[in-house]
Every structure is written in C-alpha cells, then in structure tokens.
C-alpha cells in the first residue's frame, strides 16, 4: 500500500501521517506514504518525521498539474488535505483560496484520473453549509457558504463530486467540524489563545462571543478520514462531528482555566465580517455506516493540547 497525502506538513495532514507511520491504523502498518506539500506559511517541516523509512517528502504545489503527473503514478490512494485554511485570511484576500482550494483540488482530481489512482478522499469542512440557527446539517443540506474560505471549499467539493459523477473517479468527501490539538498553527483560535496566555498576553475575543462551534480532537478527525478511506463509498459525503458544542465565551472560559488566567486577560475585538453564528453537524451517517465514534473527551483533549503548547515553545515561538 502506497499513500499520497497532500498538505501533509500542516496541522491535520501531519497528524494523519504521524499516526499512520506509528502503526495507528490497522492494516496500514506497512504502508508507505508520500507527503506532498508546498510548505506555505502553514506547513512546518517539524511536523513530520523526516528520517522515517516509510515516508518520502516532495515539496510542490497542488496547482501544478505537470508536477502532480510526475508524483502521483504508483500510489494506491490519495488523501487530499492541502488547502488555504484560515477564514480571516480569506476575508482579507480570497484569490489564493480560489487558486489552491478550487484550482488545486481540480488538479489533484485530474492527476488521480490520469494516473489511475484507485481511491481518493477529499477533506472538506462543515463551513460549506453556512450557519444554522437550530437543528443540525445532514449531508444533503444545501450549501450556503458565507466566507470566501467556505465558498472555495464548497467549490472543491462540487468539483470532487463532478469527477465521481462524470468520470467515475472513486472519491469520497469528508466535512468536519472545528479541529483542535497539537501542531495547529497559532493563527487559529485555540493555539492563538493558549500561546498568548502562556506568554502573559491578552487574547482577542470576537464580538459578543456567542458564536457556537463544535470541537473535535484532530486524532478523532483523522480516525474518521481513515474509516472513510477504507470503508467509505464513492461519491458519498460524510459529516464528521465533534459533539462538543461551545460558544466562544465558553471555550475562552475553559482555556483561561487551563492556563490559570482570568477574564482580565481577554479583550473584546470587533467581530469578523460575515461571522457565522452557529455550526452543528448531524453525523449519524458516518456513525451508522462506518462505525465512527469520537474518543477524545473535550476536557482531556483541551488539557493535553495546552500541555503540548507549554512543553513545545520551540515549535510555536518562531
Ligand atoms: P493547515 O493550514 O494547517 O495545513 C494546510 C497544509 O497545506 C500546509 O502544510 C500547507 O503548506 C499546505 N498547502 C497549502 N497550499 C498548498 C498548495 N498550493 N500545494 C501544496 N500544499 C499546500 O490546514 P489544516 O487545519 O491542517 O486543514 C487541513 C484540511 O482540513 C483543509 O482542507 C481544511 O479545509 C480542512 N479542515 C480543517 C479544519 C480545522 O479545524 N483545521 C476543519 C475542517 C476541515
């Protein structure tokens, strides 16, 4: 078994690769993995075990089809994590999001098709559904993305679906809630808050902090990706929920407690433009069809994450 993982130097992709190489996915203990990553500001070489005998790293851009044509042949599956992933950056400037997330995904799909790759998983997000006041999204919910990031991910999902429908490519799509865990870039809210609080700096809370997000430990997300890779059906979408819904105020409260700080360390910041109020996923499909169960309790996962950032300043201080 030879896997190709795009975006494998980023937060979630590298967790997937490290777990795979540790033998964390039954049946894949001997799998070899090629990590393909541009090493954008979000990619980090320190996320990967470069000397591992079963890993090969190639630096390159998913938008470069000629490059993908050289690298893809000979792989048994592609797991496509590579993306521009930070909503705030997409509000500032959307072009790179369309280029990488839509154009890059289309190139990855083309390369899979041309190289005859038997299986692909495309990693997407719950943000494609927009915002929901009550209830929870199923996979058949209409897409109503609100940020340029979410719109570009929705575009990539549509492209993946079209390659399945038009060309018969064996591709499944996952749509996951917010991830947290070690090795997440400090631009994202949990590592941003934790690293600032560790340094004794105040943290910015958007608007009134009533926005609700579901939190999922990266290890549970990656386990879901592996389930979809091995058991998911072609052309199908699988929501991956965390089951841990918190307002941003509640999340901040927990992080303050874990770091040993109080509300004097929080400053209110003007709300993000177009900030979605509430995300909620119905993930009964992946639970019932593939046997998915998230295992990391939020309290434990957050505590371990705070400990990791405390113990690894070399990783985030630069
Ligand atoms: P990340 O920003 O930490 O990592 C992205 C990786 O992709 C980086 O290593 C970067 O160098 C690489 N990359 C960017 N542009 C590239 C290009 N043009 N060519 C090759 N590599 C490129 O992101 P993440 O949080 O690990 O997210 C991974 C995937 O999961 C993304 O598709 C994202 O949309 C999705 N997702 C993330 C979350 C979350 O909470 N972080 C939730 C749901 C879905």
Q: What is the mean pLDDT of the chain?
A: 97
> How many folded domains does the chain comprise?
1
User: What CATH number is given to the structural domain containing 7?
Assistant: 3.40.50.720
Q: What is the pLDDT of residue 242?
A: 84
Is any ligand 1 atom within 6 A of the Cβ of residue 38?
A: yes
> Backbone phi, then psi, for 66, in 5-degree steps?
-60, -40
pLDDT surpassing 90 at residue 275:
no
pLDDT tens per residue, range 242-272 = 889 999 999 999 999 999 999 999 999 988 8
Which residues, listed in sequence order, are joined to residue 120 by a DSSP beta bridge? 78, 171
Q: What is the pLDDT of residue 297?
A: 97
User: At 274, is the pLDDT very low, low, confident or very high (cuts 50, 70, 90)?
Assistant: confident
141 lies in a domain?
yes
pTM of the predicted structure, to 2 decimals: 0.98
Q: What is the pLDDT of residue 17?
A: 98
Strands 171-176, 203-206: pairing kind: unpaired
228 lies in a domain?
yes
Look at ligand 1, atom 19, and give the residue with the nearest C-alpha. 61
54 lies in a domain?
yes
Q: What is the pLDDT of residue 251?
A: 97
Q: Choosing from 37, 84, 110, 126, which is the catalytic residue?
A: 126
264 lies in a domain?
no
Which residues, listed in sequence order, are joined to residue 4 by a DSSP beta bridge? 34, 78
Q: Are 161 and 139 in contact (CB under 8 A)?
A: no
238 lies in a domain?
yes
pLDDT tens per residue, range 160-194 = 999 999 999 999 999 999 999 999 999 999 999 99
Is any ligand 1 atom within 6 A of the Cβ of residue 175?
A: no
Q: Which of 143, 214, 227, 204 is nearest to 179 (CA)?
A: 214
Q: What is the pLDDT of residue 271?
A: 84
Q: Choosing from 110, 127, 157, 276, which is the catalytic residue?
A: 127
Whole domain around residue 137: which residue ranges?
Answer: 2-183+218-243+279-295
User: At 224, is the pLDDT very low, low, confident or very high (cuts 50, 70, 90)?
Assistant: very high
Separation in Å, CA 146 to CA 48, 84, 127, 174: 33, 16, 8, 19
Q: Are 276 and 207 in contact (CB under 8 A)?
A: no
Active-site residue, 126 included: yes
Active-site residue, 41 included: no
pLDDT surpassing 90 at residue 315:
yes
25 lies in a domain?
yes
Is any ligand 1 atom within 6 A of the Cβ of residue 89?
A: no
Q: What is the pLDDT of residue 20?
A: 98
Q: Percentage of the chain surpassing pLDDT 70?
A: 100
Q: What is the pLDDT of residue 75?
A: 98
Task: Determine the average pLDDT of the residues in 213-218.
Answer: 97
Active-site residue, 149 included: yes
Q: Which residue has the higher pLDDT, 51 or 274?
A: 51
Q: What is the three-state SS of 218-232?
A: HHHHHHHHHHHHHHC
56 lies in a domain?
yes
User: At 69, is the pLDDT very low, low, confident or very high (cuts 50, 70, 90)?
Assistant: very high
Task: Determine the average pLDDT of the residues in 276-288.
Answer: 96
Q: What is the pLDDT of residue 50?
A: 97
Q: What is the pLDDT of residue 318?
A: 81
316 lies in a domain?
no
The whole-angstrom separation of Cα 114 and Cα 317 is 42
Residue 181 zone, left/alpha/beta (φ > 0; ψ -120 to 50; rest): left
């Amino acid at each position: 078994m030879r896997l190709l993982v795009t975006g494998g130097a980023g937060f979630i992709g590298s967790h997937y690769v490290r777990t795979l190489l540790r033998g964390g996915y039954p049946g894949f203990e001997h799998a070899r993995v090629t990590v393909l990553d541009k090493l954008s500001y979000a990619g980090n070489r320190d996320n990967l075990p470069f000397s591992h005998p079963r890993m090969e790293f190639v630096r390159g851009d998913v938008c470069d089809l000629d490059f993908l044509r050289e690298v893809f042949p000979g792989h048994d599956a592609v797991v496509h994590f590579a993306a521009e992933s930070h909503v705030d950056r997409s509000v500032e400037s959307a072009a790179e999001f369309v280029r990488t997330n839509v154009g890059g995904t289309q190139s990855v799909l083309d390369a899979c098709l041309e190289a005859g790759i038997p299986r692909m998983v495309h990693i997407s997000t719950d943000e494609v559904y927009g915002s929901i006041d009550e209830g929870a999204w199923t996979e058949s919910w209409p897409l109503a993305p609100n940020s340029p990031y979410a719109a570009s991910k929705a575009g990539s999902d549509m492209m993946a679906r079209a390659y399945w429908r038009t060309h018969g490519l064996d591709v499944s799509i996952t749509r996951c809630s917010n991830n947290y865990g070690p090795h997440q870039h400090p631009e994202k809210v949990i590592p941003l808050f934790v690293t600032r609080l560790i340094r004794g700096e105040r943290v910015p809370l958007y608007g009134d902090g009533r926005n609700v997000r579901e939190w999922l430990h990266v290890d549970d997300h990656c386990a879901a990706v592996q389930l979809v890779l091995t058991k998911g059906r072609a052309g199908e979408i699988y929501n991956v929920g965390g089951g841990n819904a918190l307002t941003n105020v509640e999340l901040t409260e927990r992080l303050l407690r874990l770091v040993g700080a109080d509300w004097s360390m929080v400053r209110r910041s003007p709300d993000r433009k177009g900030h979605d109020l509430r995300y909620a996923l119905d993930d009964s499909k992946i639970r019932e069809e593939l046997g998915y169960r998230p295992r990391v309790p939020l309290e434990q996962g957050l505590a371990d994450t705070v400990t990791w950032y405390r113990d690894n300043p070399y990783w985030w201080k630069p």
